[in-house]
Structure 1
Amino acid sequence: RWFLLDDEPLSFWNRLLNTMLREISRWTVRVIMLRPYTALRARFGVEPEDVFSSIRRTEAIVLLPGVWGIEPPRSLPPNFKVIHPILPSPAEQIADKAIASFIDSDSCTYNQGLVLISFGTQASLSPSQVDRIARAVSSSPDYCFLWRLPRRNERPPDFREDQLRNLFIAEWLPQNDLLGHPRMRAFVSHVGYGSLYEAAYHGVPLVGIPQFGDQDDSMQRAVRSGWGIRLDKDRFTTLELADAIQRAISPPFRSRAKAWSRRVQAKSGVDEA
């Protein structure tokens, strides 16, 4: 899924290109991504030697977490079963005292709600991206922002974490619990597959800035199903991001996100599995 075209409907040539890209993706996984693990298995005598191929040859059933409607229609082999997502769960009370204190502070209690910003565990934002996001936060004083910004992300020279009263920055945030907070209004995200369905589960509109891999593919699912807004990671401006957040918070987007939340929560993926 990393490089595949997913516009609907696909032309014949796009389907042909997807077939070629799929084979390139398989080769990439085998030759580049799995090679270090294969070397480690050989070094320490871990059997079987080729786990990836042996699993693919013997798979009896493949479970695909997702919800039709967010997932585009497509044909699947008989042993492929789409089940409801298994990772999202009901939100628990925020245990981190610093986060809870920020949410309950006067500067947040009397504004219009919360916005979560997180780009996952692998993506690293450029100083320019960090600067544009910070300026969008600064231009949106009516909301409180919680931003997961690990130190590996290089800050611009004039960036100060304590300069905005409506911004809380941390190395890690309890994403699922924050998305389920009753005052959460929007989620600015890289839109990994887990983030896509955690947002859908809790009915939080997405402002997606995909960084690499399958993230753009996941973002297109939210856009097509009417509860997501996509921005280009290299070209988005401060004004475009601030405007996208305001649009995502608007009643039409929130209503559609809540409708998808009811569908995602209708069944337990664990029970289906």
Structure 2
Amino acid sequence: MQTVLTLMRELSIQCNMTLHQSEIMNFLKEEHYDIAVVDAFNPCAMLVTEKLGLPFIAFFPTIMANAYRIGMPSPLSYSPLFQTQLTDQMDFYGRLRNTLTFFVSLVILKKMDSLFDGVIKEHFPVDSRPNIPDLHLKAELWLYNVDFTLEFPRPLLPHVQYIGGLLAKPVKPISQELEDFISESGDAGFIVVTLGSMFSSLPLAEFIKEMNGGFAQIKQKVIWSYQRSKWPQEVEIAPNVKIMDWVSQNDLLGHPKLRLFVTHGGMNSLMEAVYHGVPVLGIPLLGDQKENMVRVKAKQMGTYILPGQLKADNFAGTIQHIIENKSYKTSAMKLQAIRRSQPFPPDQQLLRWVEHIIQSGGGGHLHPYSYKLPWYQYWLLDVILFLSSSSSPWSSTSL
């Protein structure tokens, strides 16, 4: 959580700089937009729309990590909170952990929001200063980059929609160079490895050495997205590995000879894997990636290895286990069928909901009245106090 707070502190500094860009802010005001669609992970996006006086639709890039903030019903008995690494099937200690995490998260959220207090005081007049919690409730519509193929089932409010899988699409032919490389694998097939845009810029020589050593022990060919200029000079690339600065991930995931996808566990990558019915081996590095991989494992579509536990032998063994155990492929194909048979593709769903919000003049008709209730009424504390009071009619009724 300290990492999250550090990130939010940096975002608040950037936000102050953004709101000081008067030329850009004035330009945006003069355009008279109908609505804004913002990345709601960064609170600054909501502050910018508030400064512009624009209604906004909030897009969240991953699982519902902020359910409490948007007033979402979240029974702690089966709705795992972010950072717990729990599934929806919790034993007593899991429910206890989930409950304690909820109370700790209230403190963390308050601390996160306070990091933007200075920005709000500097850029908004005293009589109209917004606060971050209220801005979360002000969104006309909430869109989440996830899907129930991976996310655990849970109650949703009318103005909350899942639209994960926007990047997944039918495959296009890959280059002849790659086809020739893949054909050399024979029936063994090949593996695709992409670990996110930031991975190759990190000093991870020992980690790369272990991964490369694991790939050298398997019979599959490996196509690995990694900047050659960043490759550690002391590590000799395994003979079955092809390093490329960039790969067409979606097209490779749909190739008939693909056997496994090794990924950091970003949601876009996982939704592409679901679309193509591909088993997954995750190496979660940061952010939401471990939580995402918990869901992949719970859905029996794959498993994961934490970076600090990855060694060449256990890496190679896990790869062989997933490929040889056909249950992973069977689960992946089942999730693919669920994903592809949904009534509307995610891009159509996104378009229709945004059009609906604009044409209906906002999403107020979708917002529950709970947004206006004081917290003690929401949790029925006044009713509980009345029923438990010694002066209540229940306590004076003779049996």
Task: Please give the range of the TM-score, normalised by the shorter of the 2 chains.
Answer: 0.7 to 0.9
Contact 2:146/2:267 (8 A) holds in 1: no
Partner residue of 1:13?
A: 96
Query: What amino acid does structure 2 have at the position aligned with 1:207?
Result: L
CA distance in 1 between counterparts of 2:263 and 2:313 reads: 17
Partner residue of 1:113?
A: 189
Q: Per-residue deviation at 1:101?
A: 0.9
1:159 aligns with 2:211: no
Distance 1:106 1:13, change over 3 A: closer
1:257 aligns with 2:314: no
TM-score computed with the length of structure 1 as normaliser: 0.80
* Aligned pairs for 1:177-188 within 5 A: 177-188=251-262
Query: What amino acid does structure 2 have at the position aligned with 1:56?
Result: H
SS across alignment from 1:71: coil
Contact 1:3/1:213 (8 A) holds in 2: no
1:269 aligns with 2:350: no
Q: Per-residue deviation at 1:132?
A: 0.9
CA distance in 2 between counterparts of 1:138 and 1:16 reads: 45
Contact 1:5/1:18 (8 A) holds in 2: no
Contact 2:84/2:97 (8 A) holds in 1: no
CA distance in 2 between counterparts of 1:196 and 1:257 reads: 11
Q: Per-residue deviation at 1:62?
A: 1.1
1:223 aligns with 2:297: yes
1:61 aligns with 2:141: yes
Q: 1:131 aligns with which of 201, 209, 215?
A: 209
Partner residue of 1:146?
A: 223
Contact 1:119/1:190 (8 A) holds in 2: yes
Query: What amino acid does structure 2 have at the position aligned with 1:260?
Result: L
Q: Per-residue deviation at 1:126?
A: 1.6
Alignment length, in residue pairs? Answer: 256
CA deviation string 1:199-256 (max 9, x = no partner): 1111110011111111000001110001111112101221111111112223221121
Q: Per-residue deviation at 1:152?
A: 7.7
Q: Which has the larger Rg? A: 2
Q: Per-residue deviation at 1:109?
A: 4.9
Q: Per-residue deviation at 1:127?
A: 1.3
Distance 1:25 1:195, change over 3 A: farther
Distance 1:193 1:50, change over 3 A: farther
CA deviation string 1:156-179 (max 9, x = no partner): x53123x51x21101221111111
1:75 aligns with 2:149: no
Distance 1:50 1:172, change over 3 A: farther
CA distance in 2 between counterparts of 1:31 and 1:172 reads: 40
SS across alignment from 2:308: coil
Q: Which moved more, 1:143-152 or 1:125-134?
A: 143-152
Distance 1:13 1:237, change over 3 A: same
Q: 2:242 aligns with which of 168, 172, 190?
A: 168
Q: In angstroms, what is the RMSD of aligned CA positions?
A: 3.1
Distance 1:73 1:107, change over 3 A: closer
Partner residue of 1:248?
A: 322
SS across alignment from 1:234: helix
Unaligned runs of 5+ in 2: 1-64, 66-81, 124-128, 351-399
Q: Per-residue deviation at 1:195?
A: 1.2
Distance 1:50 1:199, change over 3 A: farther
CA deviation string 1:63-102 (max 9, x = no partner): 22433252113333342223452221111112xx4xx313
CA distance in 1 between counterparts of 2:193 and 2:110 reads: 34
1:214 aligns with 2:288: yes
* Aligned pairs for 1:6-45 within 5 A: 6-7=86-87, 8-9=89-90, 11-23=94-106, 26=109
Partner residue of 2:264?
A: 190
Higher helix fraction: Structure 1 or Structure 2? 2
Unaligned runs of 5+ in 1: 43-48
CA distance in 2 between counterparts of 1:50 and 1:182 reads: 53
Q: Per-residue deviation at 1:266?
A: 1.7
CA distance in 1 between counterparts of 2:275 and 2:220 reads: 22
